[in-house]
Structure 1
Amino acid sequence: MSEYVLAADLGGTKILAALVNERGETRHVLEAPTPAKAGAAAVVKALRELLQDAADGHQPRAIGLSLAGVIDAQTACVLDATDALPGWKGTDLRAELAHFGLPVTARNDVHAALLGEAWLGGLRGCRHGALLTLGTGLGAAFLADGQLHTGHNQLAGHLGRTEWLHQGRRVPLESLLSGTGLANLHGSAADGRDVIARLGLDATADSALRTWVNLLALQLHNLHWAFDPGRVLLGGGMIDAREHWWPLLERVTADLPLDIRPAELGSRAGLLGAAHLAWEAVA
């Protein structure tokens, strides 16, 4: 019988959990909504129950977690979190899952997604690379000399929290460069999907998307000169609509010496990255 680790990817809207073997093959993948508004205790309870169900009677060797927020890799504690998960800051996942009797490893969700892509996806074999996630917000993670770069305070990659000048005001970059940001650039759309649906019918939607792509290209230019990643993967929900904007991005980045590709693992990147962490913990 194959050996497994338990892995989970916990975000603001849903939790994924599964058994994963050393080749990255998943078994008994389960999904549940994140009860974010009910507070951290309810979120932990949902995570605990989903992990128990995903174990499916097996005896996994470790637990790996991909988590929203700023995560202390040494302690598996949540150092900081947004209002999307009220009360999440300060949660000690290692203590909360101690009853499993297993080693517990944890990383920020975008950090974990990069590890998944480096293990089984678009960053396989790369020494230097980056992942940008363009979803409700904007996240990033960096691979430096084959290792995840987390920074002094585990903050490396929180690109959405950097600031940008927009109409004379300093705003978080993710308020412009994300699915939400695309809607903000439009001005009256409900979200990024709404803007995409209006393309060709609404001149403001077309203009907003051009502005959005140019801003993305500018960030890729800056990333090239600041970090020199070589290869950059683009993921997150906006990548599902890339037929509408990828050709334009290719045109405006044609002179940029970067290998820019769509991320390969989709919604399972964080889950697989968490599993990879767990396997490393018991190697």
Structure 2
Amino acid sequence: MKECFAIGIDLGASQIKSGIVSDRGKIRFKQACPTPANSGRAKIVSSLQKAVSQLIEFSRSHRIEIKGIGIGSPGTVELKSGKVVGASPNLPGWTGVGLKSIFRKFKLPVLADNDTNLMALAESRVGSARGYKNALCLTIGTGIGGGVILNGELYHGLNSSAGELGHTCICFEGKACRCGSSGCLEAYASVPAMLEAAHSALANTDNTSQLRECQNHLTPLLIFQAARSKDRVALQVIEKEIEYLSAGLASVVNLLNPEVIVIGGGLVEADSSFLPGLEKRIKQKAFPSATGKLKVVKAKLGNQAGFIGAARYCLESLNEN
């Protein structure tokens, strides 16, 4: 059967990643450019249009027929209209943007969804969740995003707001979250929260930790490296990270009973050695009936998952119609 191709776009707070992807998940061409997140809506729109123009130029020179455009954006995206109805704090002024209208001049069908939903779809079709009908997918980076696959399909909920795993409450009246609520998983287990915990631990312990030498430029990678040397502060920080993540995910496991949890983002790209420990703690906290065959695995597609999923979502939606 002849391959079909779509343009996939992953709009992030720091980068716009895009590519031409087949219905089999094969990438024919990919590119990335900085996101002018603090330069206003018009600049972001212009960057998105330029990216698509470059991809269409490539497709024409290589005789690739483009069926449509798929785009993933932070925030809540209304599926039918393609409008961003609840934007991420990382993209100021992005609420209300009509994602479909941005690409109207290209005269191609446009499908839009939340960026982490599309990461989940990509991992489900050609990544670590392939072969599983029920999966949770989350990314741990500046924030914590999530997507849910139920019975082989991306689950959106009533108003396309499903999958916000980072805003599962793990501590009543806890730390303030960027979303405006408090006690959210993201406030405790995102990369910035992990680094904050490391700085706090260093301020309240003796001078023996090797992390003290690099405390002005701490990263998850440095913390994991120190943990391999049995550094007490690093081990404490990672144990706390596992504790917070397992608290949030155990509740979702009890609710949805997935077969697999796929984790991507900056934290696991730095080091995924904590995942077996996370799986163990989830199984200790959740019902045995919900965790008997549960696996916690690293995402396969890395930072390409967003635009692969966007293209796939476009092609699947067009095929259904």
Change (3 A) 1:134 1:57: closer
Matched with 1:68 is 74
Matched with 1:40 is 41
Within the candidate set 172, 176, 184, 1:172 is matched to: 184
* Higher Cα Rg, which structure: 2
> What is the CA–CA distance in structure 2 between the aligned matches of 1:85 and 1:168, rounded to whole Å?
25
> What is the CA–CA distance in structure 2 between the aligned matches of 1:57 and 1:244, rounded to whole Å?
40
Cα distance per residue 1:44-76 (max 9 Å; x no partner): 110110111022142411001111111111111
The alpha carbon displacement at 1:195 in A equals: 3.4
Matched with 1:195 is 223
Change (3 A) 1:147 1:167: closer
Partner-residue secondary structure (3-state), 1:105: strand
1:173-252, aligned counterparts within 5 Å? 173-188=185-200, 190-199=218-227, 200=229, 203-252=232-281
Sequence identity, in percent?
Answer: 29
Please tell me whether the aligned partners of residues 9 and 18 of structure 2 are also in contact (alpha carbons under 8 angstroms).
Answer: yes
Change (3 A) 1:271 1:230: same
Cα distance per residue 1:78-129 (max 9 Å; x no partner): 1111221111110001111100001000110110001101111122232211
Matched with 2:298 is 262
Unaligned 5+ runs, structure 2: 176-181, 201-214, 285-290
Matched with 2:307 is 271
Change (3 A) 1:136 1:194: farther
> What is the CA–CA distance in structure 2 between the aligned matches of 1:181 and 1:175, rounded to whole Å?
6
1:99 partnered with 2:113: no
Partner-residue secondary structure (3-state), 1:111: helix
Please tell me whether the aligned partners of residues 181 and 192 of structure 1 are also in contact (alpha carbons under 8 angstroms).
Answer: no
Matched with 1:113 is 119
Matched with 1:17 is 18
Please tell me whether the aligned partners of residues 3 and 22 of structure 1 are also in contact (alpha carbons under 8 angstroms).
Answer: yes
Change (3 A) 1:185 1:87: same
Please tell me whether the aligned partners of residues 19 and 308 of structure 2 are also in contact (alpha carbons under 8 angstroms).
Answer: no
> What is the CA–CA distance in structure 2 between the aligned matches of 1:166 and 1:195, rounded to whole Å?
28
The alpha carbon displacement at 1:27 in A equals: 1.6
Corresponding letter in the other structure for 1:140 = G
Please tell me whether the aligned partners of residues 103 and 281 of structure 1 are also in contact (alpha carbons under 8 angstroms).
Answer: no
TM superposition score normalised by structure 2: 0.81
Matched with 2:205 is none
1:52-63, aligned counterparts within 5 Å? 52-55=53-56, 56-58=58-60, 59-63=65-69
Partner-residue secondary structure (3-state), 1:95: helix
Unaligned 5+ runs, structure 1: none
Corresponding letter in the other structure for 1:215 = Y
Paired residues, number: 283
> What is the CA–CA distance in structure 2 between the aligned matches of 1:96 and 1:250, rounded to whole Å?
42
RMSD of aligned Cα (Å) = 2.2
Within the candidate set 145, 148, 167, 2:151 is matched to: 145
1:161 partnered with 2:200: no
Structure that is richer in strand per residue: 1
